[in-house]
Amino acid sequence: MSATHPGRIELRGLAVDCIVGVLPHERVTEQTLLLDVVLTADFAPAAASDALGDIIDYCQVAEALTAWLRAMRFKLIETIAVRGCELLLDRFPAIIECELAVSKPAAMTQAAMVTARHQRSRGGGG
């Protein structure tokens, strides 16, 4: 059996303009969400081959999340955090664990932003 080399791929500050929120104006005007994604995967295959096909293509991860959020009209960032982890685990088999933080800068005037964070393992934990 070959050795595994678990590692993390991190996408920080992925900006996505989409419809999100519960207030009437939020249902018709796009807002920017900032996503932080942490993906745990086995780096051993990619380290051996130096081939993109042996690891998670983070550009595809960004494209998948962006297209998904733009197509949906979620009310809660908590829902996005949970379902976004599910989406990534379903779409990218190399992901062992996914953590998704969804920040909404325009959520309230008293804070720079509000963030909902969720973590899920392939085995269903989280």
What pTM value is reported for the model? 0.92
In-domain check, residue 126: no
DSSP 8-state code for residue 28: T
Residue 48 has pLDDT above 80, yes or no: yes
Q: How many domains does the chain have?
A: 1
In-domain check, residue 53: yes
Amino acid occupying residue 10: E
For residues 121 and 109, the answer to whether their CB atoms sit within 8 Å is: no
Mind listing the pLDDT tens digit for each residue in 70-93?
999 999 999 999 999 999 999 999
Task: Give the domain CATH number at 52.
Answer: 3.30.1130.10
Q: For residue 43, what are the domain limits?
A: 6-121
Confidence bin at 3 (pLDDT 50/70/90) = confident
In-domain check, residue 1: no
